[in-house]
Amino acid sequence: MSVFDWVIWGGAALTIAGLAALIWCIVTVARARRAGVEDEQLRVRMRKVLAVNMAALGASTIGLMMVVLGIVLGK
């Protein structure tokens, strides 16, 4: 395996981890909404989830860039 294969697989793993975190965010907010939590408590929970959501989006983006970079430079 070349270095670029490692970059591709590392990027794919990072993208999958980011997607898993995004799914966690969706499930967490959906559970809070279904629980009938009051508006202020829901805002507090969503603030906590927002940081994870932004980190997950960033991880997914960097992972996809790594995959593209590995494919382009590996040829």
Mean pLDDT split into 10-residue runs, the chain, 75 residues:
93 97 95 88 90 96 96 91
| Rg, the chain, Cα only | 17
Considering the entire predicted model, what is its pTM?
0.84
CA distance linking residue 33 with residue 58, whole number of Å: 25
CA distance linking residue 69 with residue 75, whole number of Å: 10
